[in-house]
């Protein structure tokens, strides 16, 4: 495995490139660790407990990962990559930036609904980084790609005349913040949050917030 930076700035040791079977085993361990963290919390997710979940010995995990820190790093990478792939695939199916923006919001909530363990584990991991520097590094890893993706949609929409004048970077942070704010409430109190209704409200809200009043009607396509 290539050397990577941990959220707190540490580096994991390098490994030679894994075989297909080894990568499959790593993914299995990561998935088991996510389930364990979501169910028991990060503090209780020892390598031995994770190994029991998979049905392997602790030494097998130690073979694939240089300790618990590297495993947690891989979990974060996997969680972010999985959600990003899902969202991007939904966005890329749409044409026109208003539709792409709606797809981004809707896909974010659709992925949440089907992968609750991912977000419970992610929130617990985020809380485990005690220093401000570690949290900043973690947030940069988690949020920068999301903001850049939304920002690219917003900028293109402005160029096409679909969106009004605003600062894309600022609105991108606002949109992602709204999505993640709902996610946090849902993680802590699942019964209190209807993800489908939240998705509908936010798509309507940001459609109005971004719309160019001089542009074409978003339903008919006719000019105003």
Query: What is the model's pLDDT at position 165?
Result: 97
Per-residue pLDDT, averaged over 161-178, amounts to 97
Quick check: 100 pLDDT over 70?
yes
CB-based contact 103:93 (threshold 8 Å): yes
Boundaries of domain holding 135: 75-210
**129 found inside a domain:** yes
pLDDT 10s digits, 170-208? 999 999 999 999 999 999 999 999 999 999 999 999 999
Quick check: 22 pLDDT over 90?
no
**27 found inside a domain:** no
Label residue 36 by pLDDT band (50, 70, 90): very high
For residues 11 and 185, give the distance between their C-alpha atoms in angstroms, rounded to a whole number.
33
CB-based contact 206:175 (threshold 8 Å): yes
For residues 78 and 97, give the distance between their C-alpha atoms in angstroms, rounded to a whole number.
28
The total of other beta-carbon atoms located within 10 Å of residue 64's CB is: 20
**52 found inside a domain:** no
Per-residue pLDDT, averaged over 76-89, amounts to 94
**CATH code of 144's domain:** 1.10.357.10
96-205-123-79 Cα dihedral, nearest 10 degrees: -10
Quick check: 99 pLDDT over 50?
yes
Quick check: 219 pLDDT over 70?
no
**155 found inside a domain:** yes
Per-residue pLDDT, averaged over 74-85, amounts to 92
**20 found inside a domain:** no
Domains in the chain, number: 1
Per-residue pLDDT, averaged over 151-165, amounts to 97
Lowest-pLDDT range of 11-20, 71-80, 114-123, 142-151: 11-20
For residues 87 and 104, give the distance between their C-alpha atoms in angstroms, rounded to a whole number.
6
Model's pTM, two decimal places? 0.83
**51 found inside a domain:** no
Helix/strand/coil for 41? coil
């Amino acid at each position: 495995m290539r050397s990577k930076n941990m959220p707190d700035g540490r580096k994991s040791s390098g490994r030679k490139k894994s075989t297909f079977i080894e990568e499959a085993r790593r993914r299995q361990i990561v998935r088991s660790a996510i389930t364990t963290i979501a169910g028991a919390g990060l503090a209780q997710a020892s390598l031995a407990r994770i190994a029991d979940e998979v049905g392997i010995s602790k030494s097998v995990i130690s073979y694939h990962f240089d300790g618990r820190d590297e495993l947690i790093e891989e979990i974060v990478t996997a969680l972010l990559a999985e959600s990003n792939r899902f969202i991007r695939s939904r966005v890329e199916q749409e044409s026109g930036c208003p539709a792409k923006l709606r797809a981004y919001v809707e896909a974010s909530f659709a992925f949440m609904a089907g992968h609750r363990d991912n977000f419970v584990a992610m929130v617990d991991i985020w809380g485990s980084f005690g220093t401000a520097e570690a949290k900043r590094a973690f947030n940069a890893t988690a949020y920068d790609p999301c903001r850049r993706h939304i920002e690219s949609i917003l900028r293109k929409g402005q160029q096409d005349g679909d969106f009004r004048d605003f600062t894309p970077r600022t609105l991108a942070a606002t949109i992602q913040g709204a999505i993640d704010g709902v996610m946090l409430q849902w993680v802590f109190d699942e019964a209190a949050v209807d993800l489908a209704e939240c998705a509908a409200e936010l798509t309507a809200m940001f459609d109005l917030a971004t719309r160019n009043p001089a542009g074409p009607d978003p339903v008919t396509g006719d000019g105003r």
